[in-house]
Structure 1
Amino acid sequence: MTLPVANITTRTTCPYCGVGCGVLATPQPDGSVAIAGDPEHPANLGRLCSKGSALGETLGLEGRLLYPESDGVRVTWDVALERVANTFKRTINAFGPNSVAFYGSGQLLTEDYYVANKLMKGFIGSGNMDTNSRLCMASSVAGHKRAFGSDTVPGNYEDLELADLVVLVGSNLGWCHPVLYQRIVKAKAERPDMRVVLIDPRRTVSADIADLHLAVQSDGDSALFVGLLAHLANAGIAAPDFVIDHTSGVDAALLIAEDWDLARVAAVTGLAEKAIALFYDWFARTEKAVTVYSQGVNQSASGTDKVNAIINCHLLTGRIGRPGMGPFSVTGQPNAMGGREVGGLANTLAAHMDFTPDAIERVGRFWGSDSIATEPGLKAVDLFAAMGRGEIKAVWIMATNPVDSMPEADMVRAALAVCPFVVVSDMTGSTDTGVTAHVRLPAAGWGEKDGTVTNSERRISRQRPFLTLPGQARPDWWLIKEVAQRMGFVDAFSYANPGEIFAEHAALTAFENDGSRDLDLSGLLDADYASLPPTQWPVRRKPRARMFGDGQFFTPDGKARFVPVLPPPPFAPPPGRFILNTGRVRDHWHTMTRTGKTARLSAHYAEPFVEVHPTDAARLNIHRATLVRLSNRHGSAIVRALVTDRQRRGHLFVPMHWTDQFASNGRIDALVAAKVDPVSGQPALKMAEVHAEPLHTTLYGFFVATHRPILDMEYWAVAAAIGGLRGEVAWREQPSDWGAWLRSAFALPDDAQIETMSDARSGRSSFAVLQEGRLVVALYAAPDPVLVSRQWAVSLLSADALTASTVLAGRPGADMPDVGAIVCSCFSVGANTIAAAVTDQGCVTVEAVGACTRAGTNCGSCRAEIRGIIDAHCLAAAE
């Protein structure tokens, strides 16, 4: 790889969500990298979200795994690779091919995925290659295949702008796919008659543009759409010619649906009949309707049925494959789609082919292998369960962190602890999964990798390198190729670069494909890989923007299938229990191995929290910003209380991002039962049952410091800050000697001068250590949640000529304005700054605040919060 050249811009693709935004990366003379959205990329047209905008801040080498390690000791590549290859060979020889497994990630590039899948399924001969995409969109895959005969997303992003009705189901698009959300916001502003319906138990920020929010009971989606199917049939909205000519099974689907009238749907969903009727009427009367769904649909024990309930409504009305209409699965990861294309799921083979006799023979012949797997392997939950039983004896985990992201995560950790041989290839040195590994392999990260990803609209884009490989890090495909060759499969894995791998993948999609398979890249066989533009598949003579508009599907008879869906009964936890919903926040990604590095992205939410309805909080004696213990038979977590009426009564929401690297007990997926959809194998990450209670503490604390302390208490959480880090702590018992505690926790020298200010009446104390006018540590402690302005305290780490009295006061003086809690992460604009724009500058619209402060003018994900601040201050002024 050549050295980066300053001021030379590289076109690449964002490594976060499935939107697949184009990025312009320009290395700077000082070693930093300037990041901008690519205005020519059709996915984002120049926009980036807060995470994408901060990519340049995540590229430092702090925490990187830079050298191969064996049993915690640095070794050469030859030693590490030989150990991996030999151990896998010995294990296979002793226990058979199904005793080993690969577990991949939507963070892998398509070329990485292809080589891993080829090795496991084509030459080791086992189907045990699964991925964390199983946790994300497996139910969509299963639903597509049941309805269409193939895993095909029919439409594209343009349909979101052309639709007259956009239905968001289990999708907080405003936070999880912000660029798509902003495309809808823009379209709605230009066409005010466009309607948006949000179907979600929570009132998320996506409700900001919704004309109707249906706060459906958990797992009520199926009943809502089965009822919609019945309504459409009864109202005569069906497209009879399309249904007769291009579908099958409608009678069986309608036979179940006809029993689901408004009253029954209302009983199961918890919605008012009037609201349901309004939604049904809008859908019936609006031909151009797009139903966008994501994890709230997929991550369910009935997720596949939910997907088919949605698709049934579009099939009945013929609203599929044409501009501005269709069911639309939005994937969570940058290359979940690419992994699906090459067979990254345990129940698929390669190139969108399944384990059928014809496909097994075809792929084996193409790869030149007579040891190809003949049956599906273990899906993620089953894989780790088998590992815990001792059936999986060697596993290679690539670019993911299942100790935090899998359900029953403590059981996953225990399974890895008893597995005889664990390999982890990752760019990060010490993830909660990485510390369990016998061999750790340093993998290339974003900005260093070279390959392709496929986004949610079937668009293949290039990730291109603009940085040198640090230390001895290598691309994932190279690691797998080297192990494959050492296992004896030299000729089949003789790749010199990712372009060769992509060419083989494209050739396999075209191999003996007469149009009977959806994935066809034959039109790219002679393409220039280096300059490949963003391209939607299938690509035969030219790319195809939409699928199924001609009424032709990939089933044996060419017709789409209606799937009869019987909605599950209402999910009601036992008395005293809550329904726990897990998900994402705006500024963090998965388990924070990348986003946790940047102070800007940690400013909005810096610690794990639980959203709880005010009525539930009052009943449990949980107060604002106090700590809450969540528990069940699988595990426990301690999180900060966020009391809000955005949440339904009886429901809780906790983000899935926090790990043992960032909090004492924030691994929320440890509480989620490993209950899966019987068709897709996707776990129900949205529906755990938990007990909630206040955590009784003697003292709360908040600190900022130049370096990370060693903390040993029931609760702590740390986050990056400019100049150091910030942290929240809580004690059951107050330290008897504060000086000794501070010196021990923060590794202070014995002669460090600790300045102190205490108020015996209130029980509040402040401590500061300065060195030549620069802050080293500041700690604020109180019996109640500490009322110090976090952003002001963080700013002290960058200040010069500080005095102890300034720090100990715990509040800014006139010369140090307090911006308040960060609302806009893109431009680090705080709540106080926005409030001042309202009260002092007369800004009474989000646009006016943006013009004054820049808040909300980039990704727009904070617009709902900005509007809330405007409304609160305008109301106060009116009173």
Structure 2
Amino acid sequence: MQNEQNLIAKEESNTQTIKTTCAYCGVGCGIEAEVDVENRVVSVKGDPEHPSNYGRLCSKGSALGETLGLSSRLLQPQVYGRPASWDDALSLVAEKFQAVIDEYGPEAVAFYGSGQLLTEDYYVANKLMKGFIGGSNIDTNSRLCMSSSVAGHKRAFGTDTVPACYDDFTEADLIVLVGSNTAWCHPVSFQRIRAAKEANPNLKVVVVDPRKTNTCDIADLHIPVKIGSDVALFNGLLSYLYQEDALDQAYIQAHTEGFEDAIQAAQTDAFNVYTVAEKCDLAPHVVETFFRWFKETDKTLTLYSQGVNQSSSGTDKVNSILNCHLATGRMGKPGTGPLSLTGQPNAMGGREVGGLANTLAAHMEFNPDDLDRVARFWNTESLTQAPGLPAVDLFDAVADGKIKAIWVMATNPVASMPNADKVRGAIENCDFVVVSDCVAHADTLDLAHVKLPAAGWSEKDGTVTNSERRISRQRALLPLAGDSKPDWWIITQLAHRMGFKDSFPYETNADIFREHAQLSGFENSENERLRDFNISKFSDISQAEYDALMPVQWPVTQDTPNGVDRFFANGGFYTPNRKAKLVAVESRKPENLPNKDWPLVLNSGRVRDQWHSMTRTALASRLNQHKPEPFVEITPADAEKYRLQNGHLAIIKSQWGEMLARVEVTDRLPQGDLFVPMHWTSQFSNHGRMGVVVNPVVDPISFQPESKHTPVSIAPFEAAWHGFIISRHPLILDGIDYVVLVKGEGYFRYELAGSRSIRSWQSHLSSQLVPHSGELEWQTYHDPAKSLFRTACFHDDELQAVLVTGPDYALPDRNWIGSLFDSAKEEGLKIDERMALLTGKPPLGTPDVGKIICACFNVGEKTIEKAIQEGNLKTHQEVGQCCKAGTNCGSCVPEIKGILAAVGK
């Protein structure tokens, strides 16, 4: 009866519940979406049945329903800046690509894909380029993320196989987090580890990271390893385990090779605790404690991410970790093994279908047997015969004019690539550029000759694979917006126009998935176990079965219809002799080292509430409040040395470029290191693109860029004035040195600073606001002696914009001014509110929540402080019970603990 009532209620409210998968990181969280199709309204919550998250969602996932507006969407194809039909746009792309191929050959065209693509999209793109165009120049932004893991896995295991799974979080007695700020980058996994630690008093957590990040909140030991020295640390661990007779000789003998060479290299590189401590800039007792814990704990799980991968020795770092697990036999058993935490929702799916330039589909390689096998399966005589160019080399080839036409899919290399200004110049000067994306503006998209509107999350429909090899359905919640189309459809239509219609007969996403599954099992019998990736159980999957597909970890075969959680407990590696390879590695310094001109080392990474280039997350105003501007972390000693003050602006330079960022003085990182976030693009910050500064050095095996180590200089940005504008409508603010856009609820906020004064602010604002609102009424305060200027404009008593400038960053609070733009206000501003805009102080009794700490529930620092003081709260759990902060994704818990400590002093 209750179910019938629920169904009736849903029919009356025109809503339905659809299960899908999150659009963000590689955790792969399941979502239950309540969908009102008619009004395009979606509310999300975690799917309690999905094994990746069991109902948990982070701040970004929780806000997905707030990112589905159409105002920022690309909704119609455009050709040279003019609207076009799909037929005209794709016919032009086919004509231009074919002309380049006819004149210069297939290697003169390129595709650059993304971990945002679904597996079906990826499969068709890879098949078209490598199988029928006959070129290999298809790479992906996963090159910037996980290619060192791919290379390390293949060197050790013979294939790109992830041995462990998320269930190991609760099985382990020692979890080692290496180069991963899990608390901010994979918050749901972090909360699962926190819960495991609370439930298991014996579980120890070690964090290996140069920075003392929020992940250290649950750490029993923080190892602030010198950037780039991870190989020395793990070689030292291997040497220590060997000397302590703590290796699993039976596993080594039965299931591995290369042990002697690996041990010799490790001993030569890092013979003892003191050698390691010197190479890694660590205290010997810290190194010894870690080594002893690893030795004494059978159930050891090592989780690693970008701090390992994004290095000129990233592949060796991966293999140094794998060596320790192979030599101790801690592989594939509950609570043991290495687990790479992928950064994107479908980085793993892209690896499955050969999205990287140096791989073939279904985890096959560029060897004669695999080349022959793929060619026969696809029935093509045009299959490319050699690897193509990885990302950095690919864009260098664009810059050199060797690649004449490029199609960029669902990513923004002008923002995300290292040496990003060179990439911008390369694309600007390329003969023909196609970009398919779901947004109307992005750094790369704005340079395209042809812009193709792709479906976005909530409209895309297909599969993704997460960090633990779990395939999940990302289902469409809403109809396609405007004239947008799925990526697989766009690529298929191009294939038809290039003469390959018979080989691309796909009418549905299930058609592609079915072929993908068939290829995975083609000449890959379970008895021979030639390849790890095998989902042949789905070779005959129907559309209905595909639509109902439940999350499952590959391989999925007739013998393993429910998937496989772990690999290699009993060996069985995918090498000719079925043995894993311990790879002899030795530590080496990053290629570009600090010097007198570039004395500091720049590290980079993510922030808690933003994702990649912010095209989606910045649409949710609550995700913009915690870290609203590009920032640079610097130690107090370095801040004093380089004359920097907290909250002021700094200019960071390398030999490749420069950026501006807000200074955050902190003791979270070693002296000599800086940290900047990766997210801001030209759409949100005119001088905040981190990729401009980062060096283009790559790992020689994985070709992954060294985004964690760039020599730089830093100096104060000498601004003549600082200010901000909060406007009901978007503005164009050219000619100002520092502009950062922070989208709020019902307003656009611009943080500003300049070396030259602006003489006619009112005229500048009027020219942009009057077309939206009509004639404006102004109120202004100006104190030339103190260099203070404040002005606000109204139309029919409705506030339109507020401008505040002063000699430094000490300006009025933005939150209360932003609240005055609330569209729910039925009346205009009160007299005291209008006067407050001139005094810069909110009216008496105005709530001041302070800096937003909890993005999930929009709870500010001052709200938390007040709750602690009035309720005499002692723990973060009590704070959560009082004001909900920290009770959803939990990634703000470390900051809540910091507030508790500060209030208690």
- Given candidates 747, 752, 755, the residue that maps to 1:729 is 752
- Given candidates 661, 667, 682, the residue that maps to 1:660 is 682
For residues 169-210 of structure 1, what are the alpha-carbon distances to aligned partners after superposition, in whole Å with 9 as ceiling and x for unaligned? Answer: 000000000000000010111112211111111111101001
Query: In the alignment, which residue of structure 1 is the partner of 2:115?
Result: 106
Secondary structure of the structure 2 residue equivalent to 1:187? helix
**1:216, 1:26 → 2: CA distance?**
45
For residues 773-806 of structure 1, what are the alpha-carbon distances to aligned partners after superposition, in whole Å with 9 as ceiling and x for unaligned? Answer: 4321112212110332222222121154313203
Query: In the alignment, which residue of structure 1 is the partner of 2:84?
Result: 75
Query: In the alignment, which residue of structure 2 is the partner of 1:634?
Result: 656
Query: In the alignment, which residue of structure 2 is the partner of 1:801?
Result: 828
1:514-553 correspondence runs (5 A): 514=525, 515-527=529-541, 528-540=545-557, 541-542=559-560, 543-553=563-573
For residues 104-156 of structure 1, what are the alpha-carbon distances to aligned partners after superposition, in whole Å with 9 as ceiling and x for unaligned? Answer: 00000000000000000011111111000000000000000000000000010
Query: In the alignment, which residue of structure 2 is the partner of 1:42?
Result: 51
Query: In the alignment, which residue of structure 2 is the partner of 1:323?
Result: 334
Query: In the alignment, which residue of structure 1 is the partner of 2:574?
Result: 554
Secondary structure of the structure 2 residue equivalent to 1:539? coil
Q: Once the 2 structures are TM-superposed, how far is the Cα of residue 582 of structure 1 from its aligned partner?
A: 1.2
**2:881, 2:180 → 1: CA distance?**
29
- Given candidates 161, 166, 171, the residue that maps to 2:175 is 166
Secondary structure of the structure 2 residue equivalent to 1:207? helix
1:165-184 correspondence runs (5 A): 165-184=174-193
For residues 600-649 of structure 1, what are the alpha-carbon distances to aligned partners after superposition, in whole Å with 9 as ceiling and x for unaligned? Answer: 11111111111111111111111111110011221110111111111221
In the alignment, residue 77 of structure 1 is paired with which amino acid?
W
**1:835, 1:762 → 2: CA distance?**
33
1:114-513 correspondence runs (5 A): 114-259=123-268, 260=270, 261-513=272-524
Secondary structure of the structure 2 residue equivalent to 1:797? coil
Query: What percent of counterpart residues are identical?
Result: 51
Query: In the alignment, which residue of structure 2 is the partner of 1:698?
Result: 720
Structure 1 residues 476 and 4: CA distance shift in structure 2, 3 A? farther
Query: In the alignment, which residue of structure 1 is the partner of 2:743?
Result: 720
Q: Does 1:586 align with 2:613?
A: no
Query: In the alignment, which residue of structure 2 is the partner of 1:13?
Result: 21
**2:516, 2:758 → 1: CA distance?**
61
Q: Once the 2 structures are TM-superposed, how far is the Cα of residue 417 of structure 1 from its aligned partner?
A: 1.3
**1:833, 1:770 → 2: CA distance?**
31
Secondary structure of the structure 2 residue equivalent to 1:365? helix
Structure 1 residues 744 and 697: CA distance shift in structure 2, 3 A? farther
User: Structure 1 runs of 4+ off > 4 angstroms?
Assistant: 744-751
Query: Contact 1:710 / 1:746 at 8 angstroms: preserved in 2?
Result: no
Q: Does 1:812 align with 2:842?
A: yes
Secondary structure of the structure 2 residue equivalent to 1:806? helix
Secondary structure of the structure 2 residue equivalent to 1:232? helix
Secondary structure of the structure 1 residue equivalent to 2:811? coil
In the alignment, residue 551 of structure 1 is paired with which amino acid?
G
For structure 2, which runs of at least 5 residues remain unmatched after alignment? 1-10
**2:14, 2:34 → 1: CA distance?**
7
**2:798, 2:672 → 1: CA distance?**
48
Secondary structure of the structure 2 residue equivalent to 1:16? coil
**1:524, 1:495 → 2: CA distance?**
16
Q: Once the 2 structures are TM-superposed, how far is the Cα of residue 263 of structure 1 from its aligned partner?
A: 1.8
Secondary structure of the structure 1 residue equivalent to 2:669? coil
With 621-630 and 703-712 compared, the bigger mean Cα shift is at: 703-712
For residues 8-40 of structure 1, what are the alpha-carbon distances to aligned partners after superposition, in whole Å with 9 as ceiling and x for unaligned? Answer: 011000010000000111123754211111001
Q: How many residues align?
A: 873
**1:779, 1:614 → 2: CA distance?**
32
**2:373, 2:150 → 1: CA distance?**
22
Query: In the alignment, which residue of structure 2 is the partner of 1:89?
Result: 98
Secondary structure of the structure 1 residue equivalent to 2:20? strand
Secondary structure of the structure 2 residue equivalent to 1:465? coil
In the alignment, residue 87 of structure 2 is paired with which amino acid?
D
Q: Once the 2 structures are TM-superposed, how far is the Cα of residue 302 of structure 1 from its aligned partner?
A: 0.2
Query: In the alignment, which residue of structure 2 is the partner of 1:645?
Result: 667
**1:837, 1:11 → 2: CA distance?**
37
Instruction: Give the TM-score, by structure 2 length.
Output: 0.95
Query: Contact 1:792 / 1:820 at 8 angstroms: preserved in 2?
Result: no
Q: Does 1:873 align with 2:887?
A: no
Secondary structure of the structure 1 residue equivalent to 2:16? coil
Query: Contact 1:611 / 1:652 at 8 angstroms: preserved in 2?
Result: yes
For structure 1, which runs of at least 5 residues remain unmatched after alignment? none
Query: Contact 2:209 / 2:223 at 8 angstroms: preserved in 1?
Result: yes
Secondary structure of the structure 2 residue equivalent to 1:360? helix
Q: Does 1:600 align with 2:622?
A: yes
**Root mean square deviation of aligned Cα:** 1.5
Q: Once the 2 structures are TM-superposed, how far is the Cα of residue 690 of structure 1 from its aligned partner?
A: 1.1
For residues 656-679 of structure 1, what are the alpha-carbon distances to aligned partners after superposition, in whole Å with 9 as ceiling and x for unaligned? Answer: 110110111111111111100000
For residues 739-793 of structure 1, what are the alpha-carbon distances to aligned partners after superposition, in whole Å with 9 as ceiling and x for unaligned? Answer: 3344356558895222122445543332211234432111221211033222222
- Given candidates 856, 865, 871, the residue that maps to 1:835 is 865
In the alignment, residue 113 of structure 1 is paired with which amino acid?
Y
Instruction: Give the TM-score, by structure 1 length.
Output: 0.98
**1:760, 1:872 → 2: CA distance?**
38
**2:565, 2:17 → 1: CA distance?**
29
Secondary structure of the structure 1 residue equivalent to 2:777? coil
**2:404, 2:40 → 1: CA distance?**
44
Structure 1 residues 529 and 766: CA distance shift in structure 2, 3 A? same
Q: Once the 2 structures are TM-superposed, how far is the Cα of residue 842 of structure 1 from its aligned partner?
A: 1.2
**2:761, 2:613 → 1: CA distance?**
33
With 853-862 and 537-546 compared, the bigger mean Cα shift is at: 537-546
In the alignment, residue 120 of structure 2 is paired with which amino acid?
E
With 783-792 and 323-332 compared, the bigger mean Cα shift is at: 783-792
Query: In the alignment, which residue of structure 1 is the partner of 2:794?
Result: 770
Q: Once the 2 structures are TM-superposed, how far is the Cα of residue 738 of structure 1 from its aligned partner?
A: 4.2
**1:357, 1:58 → 2: CA distance?**
47
- Given candidates 724, 740, 748, the residue that maps to 2:763 is 740
**1:368, 1:744 → 2: CA distance?**
61
Query: Contact 2:775 / 2:795 at 8 angstroms: preserved in 1?
Result: no
Query: Contact 2:723 / 2:811 at 8 angstroms: preserved in 1?
Result: no
